[in-house]
Amino acid sequence: MTADRRAVLRTAAKLAALTAAGGFLTGCGSGAPRRADPGSLAVHPGNVDPQHTTDPAWNGGEGPASPDPGAPQPTTTAAPDATTAPPAPPVLPPLAPGTPLEVAYGPRTGKNVALTFHGSGDPKLATALLEVAEQRGAKLTVMAVGSWLDQQPQMARRILDAGHELGNHTQNHLNISAMGPDQARAEIAQCAERLQRLTGSIGRWFRPSAAQYATPMVREQAKAVGYEHVLSFDVDPRDYADPSAAELQRRVLNSVRGGSVVALHMGHQCTVDALPGILDGLAKSGLSPVTASQLCA
């Protein structure tokens, strides 16, 4: 090979590397603007276990607030190859005028409800739960924990491709209310980065970890990351305590009404077992499970 030929090949290789790096940075930095319309869908503290707001150690039933040193450490998902097109972001309906910064329930006069799930735990249980919902035409909202997405990156597209919605539930599911602003922002931003990389969007909703409502500091940090809306809930059947399927069904169906946002968890067999009866009970009451965005559209 001639010296001129080798020089041309070296130059082409450098240009290709620079182009690839620029394309990846553009994909990570892109994102659609979020809409903030404070107003009518007011936060309401009814039907809430007081433990959620009075016990600083509460962790939503998803394990201890401190990492277990004996547990497997999360593995970071490799970045997509620069030659691969970034995933198309999900198309979300516009929110209704007056949607507040923090939503605990939707319009009470409607017949829609939102079943929301903390995304963590055994992916087989998560998949089984999604399949139950899909068999009955129900749409769910999964608030994913970032470390779960590190371990189970395939679940992000699995959720979205079936028409469900995906949101941010922090990176490590620690007590975000007890953190300083910088640490709280990092917890939100790290999960947002996983969502962006895996789905093309950070999602519309943020939900604080180990708390029902976001403090002003947490709302400020979420907004800095790109989340104009926090998703709370008004029905908490405490499935993280693993009641029987029949008891879990009773708790949900006795508390839910039009506009409710129900907080449930993936990774619990009782929730998978109870979901068919919950969906049947909602149908008998004329209530339809939709995504959080559809509830507030």
Read off the pLDDT of residues 161-211 as tens digits, 9 standing for 90 and up.
999 999 999 999 999 999 999 999 999 999 999 999 999 999 999 999 999
Per residue in 95-135, pLDDT tens? 999 999 999 999 999 999 999 999 999 999 999 999 999 99
Q: How confident is the model at residue 218 (pLDDT cuts 50, 70, 90)?
A: very high
Cα angle: 89, vertex 94, 100; to 5 degrees: 115
Average pLDDT, the chain: 80
What is the value of pTM for the model shown? Answer: 0.75
pLDDT at 20 > cutoff 90: no
Could you tell me what percent of the chain has a pLDDT over 90?
70
Average pLDDT (63-75) is 41
Spatial separation of the C-alpha atoms in residues 34 and 225, rounded to whole Å: 11
Question: In 3-state terms, what secondary structure has residue 154?
Answer: helix
Spatial separation of the C-alpha atoms in residues 217 and 124, rounded to whole Å: 36
pLDDT at 234 > cutoff 80: yes
Residue 267 near residue 124 (C-beta atoms within 8 A)? no
Q: How confident is the model at residue 238 (pLDDT cuts 50, 70, 90)?
A: very high
Report pLDDT for 87: 84
